[in-house]
Structures are given as C-alpha cells and as structure tokens.
Structure 1
Amino acid sequence: MAGWMNLVNEWLVPALVLSSLAAHLVVVVLAAVRRREASGWPRAILWLANQAADLAATQTLGNLFLGSTSREKHLVAFWVSFLLIHMGRPDNISAYSMEDSVLSARSVIEAIFQIAGAIYVLIKHIIIGGGGGGDGRTFVLASITMFLVGIVKYAERIGALWLGDLGSIQSSGKKLKRASLSVGHLEISDDEQALQAAHRLLHITKGAFADYSSDEVEHKSSHANDEQARLAAARRLLHIARGTFADGNDNGSRWSWSQGWEQLFRLVEMELSLMYDVLYTKAAVIHTWHGYCIRFASLHFTAIAFWLFSLSSKDGYRWSDVYITYLLLIVTFLLEVRWLLSALASTWTYAFLINTNSGLRHAALCSGRWRRLRRFVMSLDLCRLALVRDPSSYRMWSGKIGQYNLLSECTHDMTSFYRTLAQRFGSEDSWKEYKYCYSGVLHISSPVRNILFNNIWDKLKLAYKPEEMRAMAAMPVPHDNDARRRNKLDKALRFAPELQDYILTYHLATDIFLQCSGQKGAACAFVKTIEVLSNYMLFLSVVRPYMLPGLKIHSLYTATRDALHDIW
C-alpha cells in the first residue's frame, strides 16, 4: 500500500501537467466549435477541457507551495510557467460563456493569488533552491524567462475578459468621438469585403450589444445571457444597419432595395462574428500595439528558454521529467508561431492598420504585403481550407436550426429511457437542448432560406421607407428617431407581447391543417418552408424561450402538451 501511494505521489504532478497540456490542445482545436455549435458532444468536451487547465494548475501550485525544496522539484516548478500559459487560454478563446467575462472581485483576487503563488514557487524552488553557479544559473534564467511569458499570458486573459464585458464595452462607447464614426462608401460583393465593411461598422454593433448608440448621451446597462444578447443585438443591428445604408444618407453610402437581402444579411453575419471575437476571444487585446509586441516577445522568449534549458545540466533529474519539459517547450513554441501568424494575417490587423497613421500602414497595405501574408497563412490552414474555400466563410452562420413538433412529441412515449436518465441526472432543459438542437437539428435549405428572408425583406421595406427615414434624419433628437425606427420594425415584424402564445396556437393549427389536407411532408417549397419555420418557432418557444420577446408561456405549453398526450 505504501509503495502504491509513493508511486501515485511520484507521478501525480507529471500527470496533472500532461493533462493540462492535453486539455489546452483540445481547447485550441475545438474553440471554433464554440462559434458555430450551440450544443453537442464537441461543446461538452470543450467545456471539460476548459475547466481542466484551472484544476491542474491549482493542484500543482498547492503541491509546490506546501512541499519541501529538493532538486527533483526544480523541473516541476519550471512547469508552473506553462500552467500559467494554459490558464491564460489560447488566443482563439478567452471565455466559454458571457458570464465568464464578468470579472467579480472574487475572480480578480483569485487571479492575483495564483500569480503570487507562482512567483513564490519560482523563488522557493528555483532561485533559492536551484543553485547559483554554472549550469544552475542557466536553468534559473530559463525559468525566469518562461515565468515572464506565463504571467503576461495570464494577465492578458484577464484584460481580454475585462474588455469583453458588456459594461466595459458600454463605458468605452461613451468615449468615442462622433468624428471617428464615419462610414463612407461600402462595397459588399463577397465575404471578404463584407468582413472589412463589418470592421468599419463595429462601433455600431458594440452599441447594439451594450444597449447604447453613438448618438446617445445616457446609456442603460445590459444584463443578458449569450442567446438573449445575440438576438437582441441582431434585431437592433438590423435596423441600425438598414438606417446606415438607407437611400438619401449624407455619408456617401449607397444602398438600394433592389439589391435584395443577401448583402445586408452577409454584413450582419460578419458583424455578429466580430462581436464573438470581442466577447469570447482575445481579439480586443491582441490587435493593439502592446498585443502584437507580446506575441513577438513571447515567441522569442520561448525560443530563448528552450536554448537555455538545453544548455543547463540534467544531472539529478529523471529523464521522464526532462522529456516532459522538452515537450512543453516545443508545443508552446509552435503555438506561439501560430498565434503570431494568425494575428498578423487577421482582418483585425487590416482594420488596425487602416486606423493608424504610421508608415507601417503604407508599407503593409499599399505594397500588398499584408494580403500576401494573409494568403500564405490561409494556405497553411489546411484543416479550415478542407471545409471552406473562402477564408472568411467560417464566420458565416452554419444554417442549422432546431425543430420541435408538438403533435409528434405527444404521440411518442414521453417516459423513454434516455429522457428519464437525463431528468434524473441532469435536467429537462438539458434533454431538450440535446434532442431538439443537436440530434434533431436541420440544415435550412436554399428554398426555405430564400422564401423566409424575402418576406423579412418585404417587412423591412414597410419599416424603412426612404422618404420617412429622410424625414426622421431631419428631426433634432437622434435617440427618439432611433427608438421610433425600432418600434416601426417591431410592428412590421409583428413582435407583439403575446408572440409566444401566437406561436403555440399557429403551430398547432398549421400542423393539423397540413395533416388533414394531406400536404404534411410535401415537396412543395412553400409547404416545406411553412412546416420548417413552424417547428423552428415552437423550438424557440419551448427550448429557448429567452430568445423571443414578449411573455413566456411555459405553463401554457406544459398544460397543452399534457392534455394532447392524454387525448392520444
């Protein structure tokens, strides 16, 4: 028994460090799933991996903080710098949910204590206990170099979370100058141009999410979960974008109703994708002067640490620990190369260069060097190019929608084994999310998509008539104009307080009519569109009611479902 416990104690920390590295790599690979998938096993794996880095780091820090000083623990203490990097998260994800961006006093104090604990471990096990001469000094320099990288990466994540908080976005929006918000002429002929146009309008999108307008003086705070914020922002962005491109604007922009909904829809998609970067990745801190400098410096510091460690003596260390150290250094260096190239080739960098007046703007953009670098980096991303040809297409909507049919639900066994298991060990909401959003997801077809958005486009015409918008623009109170436009759009789209009640009523009436008329499952494009949208709207009402405006009808839905089930 004692021998088994000694074996566990001997390999516990290496196992924790390797698991932290594995979790970090899983997060790097699966971070893109967070952008396009609402639920499913990949999201569950990503969530678990996202938590594993913090658990491994906390356990290892506690072991070294309280443990005795010995030469065998020098390498283990060296690994703490990599744990800090893992806790700092990769560049493509800083927060899993919007709630993670809300930095409470507890989370800030926790971060301070973790950094302080890491510094204490460095001093205790390496600087004091590592020896002062010869190879020992080389190892100390390597450790200090990597600790600087780890601390900066962890602090950078805290900064990304703070900048991604809606309250911070709202506060920064108040400081924007009207002169800096000009739009100018916009061309949206492909995804790449739509993305660049979205960067120029990003201040409008931030205002839609944080519930402020660049024209407003007073602002309201916004507290909403992920889907609520996305839906409300998409609705508000839709009317702001339509107002921005309206015929008769004085800012030089051109837009015609004859162009259809495709270009405006593509722009809104890109805007929401950029806001995803702000809320859930490190984009807000990466694409600044100090962000680029950190990526250059961390890449070179990691290479220097690798060189110094290779020169230091390995006497007294287990070779398994030495191999783990080399693995950590190599993987960290390769990831730093990736993050640097990805940052430089990002359209965020293009927007950054456009807004700077330095000679770097001319050297990078006018000479075409940045575009060549972007094409080169995109050619290296073989995994992404195997899925999409356009390097900007991964930002587009996946086209997946959930489906929920009440009559079908009531005519099946409501006490199935998997449902009972989910209710016992999870929740009814988790079961619905999995069954109707993941396993029962439907890719919206082109005919359905065209019919749907052409009808929305017609409704927008009712809310945004050019002559009325020109009259509104001449009125002296912009905020009142903004609210009036929103009310007209809600009225045109029939967003009444009783919307969810209407959805339930019309869903049942539609399904019964299609069944009785024999058109259920017909190949007709209009019938298919009606059926798909009816099931999707009830899916929103039942599984994600927070995405819909108006009153919630959960009790009415439950009573209706139970009554229909009893009749069956």
Structure 2
Amino acid sequence: MAGWMNLVNEWLVRALVLSSLAAHLVVVVLAAVRRREASGWRRGVLWLANQVADLASAQTLGNLFLGSTSREKQLVAFWVSFLLIHMGRPDNISAYSMEDSVLSARSVMAAIFQIAGAIYVLIKHIINGGGGGGGGTTFVVASIVMFLVGIVKYTERIGALWLGDLGSIQSSGKKLNRASLSVGQLEIGDDEQALLAAHRLMHITKGAFADYSSVEAEHKSSDGNDDGSRWNWSHGWEQLCRLVEMELSLMYDVLYTKAAVIHTWHGYCIRFATLLFTAVAFWLFWLSSKHGYRWSDVCITYLLLVVTFVLEVRWLLRALASTWTHAFFTNTNSRLRHAALCSGRWRRFRRFVVSLDLRRVSEPSSYRMWSGKIGQYNLLYECTRDKEYKYHYSGALHISSPVRDILFNNIWNKLKSAYPPEDKRVKAFMPIEEKKKEKKEEKEEKEKDSSFRRRNKLDKALGFAPELQDDILTDHLATDIFLQCSGQKGAACAIVKTIELLSNYMLFLVIVRPYMLPGLKIRSTYTATRDALHQQWCQVEAEEIKGCSSSSCATTEWKLASNLSMNVGDKDNAGPLYDRSVILHDGARKAKRLLKMAAKYGLHRALETILGEWVKTLIYVSTRCSRDSHAKQLSHGGELTTIVWMLAEHASIFLIAEDARQW
C-alpha cells in the first residue's frame, strides 16, 4: 500500500507540473479575450487556467518542500523555477480582476513565503543534493540560473500589480511635472496613428480613473502659454471617439498586464536577461550528465526549457515592437531615441513583428478598438414571452453604423451644450482689472476639486434628476408603451432603433450590471415592478379568454402596452394601475403624454424628445459611475458608458473648440 501511495505521489508531481505548463500556455493564448468579450466559453477556460496555474504550482512546491531528499527529486526540484515563472504570469496578463491589484500585507507575505520555499527547495534538493550524483556542477549552475529567472518573473508580477492599483496610479500621477505633459497638435489618421496619439494623452485617462486632475497639463504648453486653441477636432466625434477607445485599451494594459513594468529601462533589460539566462540554462542542461534521471523526467525538462525560451523570444519581440516602446523613446532625450524613431528603424521593426501575426497584418492596432457590443433587456418582452417566466437577456447586440452615428451625434451635441467655447474676442478687450480677477478665480478653481466642478457643470446643463433607477424603469416602460401604441416598435427607422437600443441597454445595466450605475443598488424596485407588470399581463390574458380582446392578431407586447395606456388616468396618484405599481402608472402616463405630443407636433418631434432624454441619462450614468466600476469593466470587454465618460472628460478639458462646433 505504501509503495502504491509513493508511486501516486511521484506521478502526481509530474502531472501538476505539466498541468501548470498547459494552463500557462492557455493563459498566454486567451489573455487578450477580456479586451472585447464580457462572457463566453473562452473566458471560462481562461479563468480555469488562471486558477490551475496557481494551484498546481503551490501544490508541487509544497510537496517538494515537505518531502525527503532523493536523487530523483533533483530534476523535479529544477522544475520549481518554471512554476515560479507560471505564477508570475505572462506579459499579457498580471491581474485577472481588479481585486488582484489590491495588494494586502497578506498577499505580499504569501509571495515572499513562496519565493522563500522555492529557494529552500533549491538548496535542499539541488545544491546540497547535487554532489552525490546527477548532472553535477553544470546542473547546479543551470538550476541557479533558472531560479533567478523564476524569482525575477514572479517579483515582476508583484510590481505590475502594485503599479496597476488605482491608488498607486493616483500617487504617481500627482508627482508628474504638468508642464512636461504638453502634446500640442495631434495627427489622427488610421488606427496606428490614433494609437500613437492616445499614448500622448494617457495622462487624461489615468487622471480620470485615478481621480487626479490633468486640466492644467492640457491648457499649458511647455513655454507656459495657453495652448487650448491648438486642439482641432474638425471631424466631430468620430476622431475623438477612436482616440478614446485607444486610450481605454492602453488603460487596460496598465491595469491588467505588465505594461507598467515592461516599458521601462529595467523592464527591457529584464527581457534581454531572462532570454539569455534561459538559453544558458538550456545549454548547461544539455551538457550535464543525465545519469540517474528518468527518461520521462528529462523529456519534461526539455519541454519546459524549450517552451520557456520560445515565450521569452515572443515577449522580447512584442515589448520592443509595442507602441508603448515608441512612447517610451518619445519621452527619452537620448541618441537612442533618434536612432530608433527618427530613422524609421522602429517602424520597420514593428511591421516585421506584426507580420508574424497573420491575424493583425492588415490593421495591427484594430484589436484595441471597442467591440461595439452592448447588453439588452426589455421588460415587456420578459413579462409576455411564452417561455417559463425567468430571468432572460441578450448581452451581445452590436451597434450598427446608422445607430452609432445618431447616438454619438446626440452625445456630442449634449457635450457641446455643456462646455461652450470661450469667446476670445471679448477677452481681448476685457479691462486689466477684470482679467486679473478672472485669473485669480481660475487659480482658485484649479485648487479645488476640478473634476467635481466640471461634472457639476454638466449636471446643471442637462438637468439631471436624482432618482436614477426609478427614472430608468419609468422611462423604459414609457418608451416601450409609446413605440408599441404608435406603431413604431421594431420599425426600420434609425432613430427608433437608437431609442430601443438605449432603452433596453439602460435597463440591462439596472438589472445585470448595477455596479455600473451611481447611487444605491436597490433590486427590490425592479422586482416589484416586474411582478406587477406580470400580474397586469395575466389580467390581460384573462380578459382575452372572456372575449374582451379587440385585436387577437396583435403581438403580446402590443396588447400589454395598449392595456397599460388605456388603464391609466389623467390625474396623479389615482386608479388601479397606481395601486398596483407607481412605476407602471408613471410610465404609462408619460407614454400617454408622448402620444399626445406626437399627435399635436408630429411623430418625429416626439421621437427626438425621447432620444434626447435617453442620451442625457446615458451621459449622467457614464459620468457618475464609480471609477472602480469603469476599471473593472475594462476586463469584461469594455462598456458604452465608459466610452461616453471618457468623451465627456476629454470634451471638458479641450472645451470643444469653436471650429469643431461648425462640423
């Protein structure tokens, strides 16, 4: 029995090492899916591989830490360095979720204990046990070299987690020299140019996520003069939106990958060193004697060395060809900057590396763009569909080009109304005393919480209401009732599709992603409204059975919407519908007013009014959502509200120049 258990333990260690390697490769391949996917089987596999990489490494390390010394375990102990590399994660992922970046004393101590345990295994099984057999001195040196690689990789991940924490970003951002952040006139052509421009504006996005102001940096050039007029967004929202999407993708890199530690002098040096050390370890192991080792263990060791070397080559090429490297050289005053960027060598090198990835040859930066998919939830459909009554929604609706144009045009117009341009001709003739007074007021304003003041200005301009979730439920019902009763539900008209998309999206956030909404997360309000609407539908069905239905060929949603419209009174706080649900009553009354508006002023005006209200709500939700929630959603495919939030942040800083208002 004891022999059987020993055999199981021996092969368990080997199975765990191979599992850790397989999980590491899966993480390498699938890590990027979080940029554009909120759910799906690939995310599930990635999560599982991420867990296996940690568990397998910890279990193997514990087995060797507590086990007895033997010649056979010398080679197995050599594998611990690769387990450290796996726990250190590949360059394209450092944190699976925002919670991983919140380092506590306990997590730091756990990392220290694991590294200390690996060093103990090295000393116990290889250094002290290496003289009696096995590969001898060359094997000991190879083990020490690979252990250094593993420790560096694991430590680097801890550093990436630390730098990816929003608190650390805030601390480092406040220490920056604002005068050095001037970017001047940007050229945004294709996606590659937009990405390079986004690097130059990353301080805006970092400032928004970490809650420190970058307004001063944008309005002052390096010589201290006002530079706001140099921003020219002549193509409207398209240019700025593409730039914002690129910036958010770069923010994803900062929060969830090792970008913050890779693209530094020591980060590049580490990649060169680990590649060299891995090659040296492979060469030394090749020269060392294999006497006393199992053939299967030798094969596993070669597999680990080869895979690690290939990945190190990949990480070095990706690091050097990344636009992060371009940004690094841009901010470096050295001959290397001139040799790499001005000569065009870096761009040629980047094209070569990109050509190795056949998926990105045509447009190497397009993968950084937002997927354009948003969730949808419709309450009338949910309560009238034939299936058994349960939770149901669609989370993968792609915004079509006509709808996107209407949506962002309206967002752009709302932002322009909130941040009108300054009339510089009036300022030119302003008395000196008034100019001094204005400069003093501007200085006092900058000393206060500028982000709050800018957001408050937007709130006043759009007339936001405080009861957000109730308003969304009410407006969603009013919108659907209006569209059903006016015959516009499902119409091919682009404005109707935009209204439906926004209405269903905002309710999707209330139900599925309440953390993306400001204020209290009270699910009971939605539950009560849903139950009341379901009861109302049951009543409609009962009336149909009695022969009271006037349109048996109508859709179920139209029947329910028509019933709600007919059963609401013209007075507040009155009628059976009000007794059943205040939100149902208010939604039906609002729909009735919209129907009267359409009859009096025309359908198009009513639709424009509804769309305007939904756009205001979208902007409010976007700008009032917590920064942590926006950051969390970056690793779940991104969110429309985050795009809108960044558009508002940029608009408030650039003040949307006068020439952009004429597009």
Superposition TM-score tier, normalisation by shorter sequence: 0.7 to 0.9
Please report how far the alpha carbon of residue 2 of structure 1 lies from its aligned counterpart in structure 2 after TM superposition. 5.6
* 1:161-560 correspondence runs (5 A): 161-214=161-214, 250-251=226-227, 254-256=230-232, 258-385=234-361, 389-412=362-385, 436=393, 440-467=395-422, 475-477=442-444, 478-480=446-448, 482-560=451-529
Q: Which amino acid aligns with 1:449?
A: R
Cα pair distance change 1:410/1:252, threshold 3 Å: closer
CA deviations over 1:173-206 (Å, ceiling 9, x no partner) = 1211122121212111222222112111212211
Counterpart of 1:48 in structure 2 is 48
Higher mean alpha-carbon deviation, 355-364 vs 514-523, is at 514-523
- The more displaced of 340-349 and 130-139 is 130-139
Task: Tell me the SS of whatever aligns to 1:314.
Answer: coil
For residue 483 of structure 1, report the CA deviation from its aligned partner: 3.5
3-state SS, counterpart of residue 465 of structure 2: coil
User: TM-score w.r.t. structure 1 length?
Assistant: 0.87
Deviation at 1:253, TM superposition (A): 5.7
Question: In structure 1, what is the Cα distance between the partners aligned to 2:462 and 2:191?
Answer: 27
Residue aligned with 1:259, SS: coil
Tell me, in whole angstroms, the C-alpha distance in 1 between the residues paired with 2:399 and 2:93: 28
Native 8 Å contact 2:184 2:230 kept in 1: no
Q: Distance in 1 between matches of 2:274 and 2:345?
A: 24
1-side partners of 2:322 and 2:233: how far apart? 32
Distance 1:7 1:132 in 2: 23
Query: Which of 1 and 2 has greater Rg?
Result: 2
Aligned residue type for 1:393: S
Instruction: Report the Cα distance in structure 2 between the residues aligned to 1:297 and 1:287, rounded to whole angstroms.
Output: 15
Task: For 1:461, give the aligned amino acid.
Answer: K
Once the two structures are TM-superposed, the CA of residue 15 in structure 1 deviates from its matched residue by 0.4
Q: TM-score, normalised by structure 2?
A: 0.75
Query: How much identity, in percent, do the aligned residues show?
Result: 83
In structure 1, the residue matched to 2:148 is 148
Q: CA RMSD in A?
A: 2.4
Please state whether the residue corresponding to 2:199 is helix, strand or coil. helix
- Alignment-derived partner of residue 100 in structure 1: 100
| Distance (whole Å) between structure 2 residues aligned to residue 143 and residue 541 of structure 1 | 54
Residues 468 and 84 (structure 1), Cα distance of their counterparts in 2 relative to 1, 3 Å cut: farther
Any idea what the Cα deviations from partners look like across 1:457-503, whole Å, max 9, x if unmatched?
10011011112799888722325555332222234455432232221
Q: Secondary structure at the match of 2:245?
A: helix
Provide closer, same or farther for how the CA distance between residues 116 and 413 of structure 1 changes in structure 2, counting only shifts above 3 A.
Answer: farther
Q: Distance in 2 between matches of 1:290 and 1:381?
A: 27
Evaluate the alpha carbon distance shift between residue 488 and residue 529 of structure 1 in structure 2; reply closer, same or farther with a 3 A threshold.
Answer: same
Name the structure 2 match of 1:157: 157
**Partner Cα separation in structure 2 for residue 244 and residue 281 of structure 1:** 32
Task: Say if 1:185 and 1:253, in contact at 8 Å, map to a contact too.
Answer: no
Residue of structure 2 in register with 1:24 after alignment: 24
The answer for the alignment partner of 1:83 in structure 2 is 83
Ranked by relative contact order (alpha carbons within 8 Å, sequence separation 6 or more), the top structure is 2
Contact 1:185 1:252 in 2 (8 A): no
Superposed displacement of residue 547, structure 1: 1.2
**d(CA) in 2 for partners of 1:38, 1:151:** 33
Summarize deviations over 1:501-524 as a string: whole Å, max 9, x none. 221111111112222233221211
Give me the whole-angstrom Cα distance separating, in 1, the residues matched to 2:316 and 2:503.
46
Deviation of 1:413 after TM superposition, in Å, equals 6.5
Deviations 1:84-129 (A, max 9, x none): 0000000000001111101100000000000000000000000000
Please give the alpha-carbon distance, in whole angstroms, between the structure 2 residues aligned to 1:166 and 1:440: 28
**Unmatched segments (≥5 aa) in structure 2:** 428-437, 538-663
Deviation at residue 533 of structure 1 after TM alignment: 1.3
CA 121–564 in structure 1, closer or farther in 2 if over 3 Å, else same: same
Runs of at least 5 residues in structure 1 that lack an aligned partner in the other structure: 217-239, 420-431
- SS of the equivalent of 2:404 reads helix
CA distance in structure 1 between the partners assigned to 2:98 and 2:258 by the alignment: 14
Q: Distance in 2 between matches of 1:278 and 1:200?
A: 15
Query: How far did 1:134 drift?
Result: 9.2
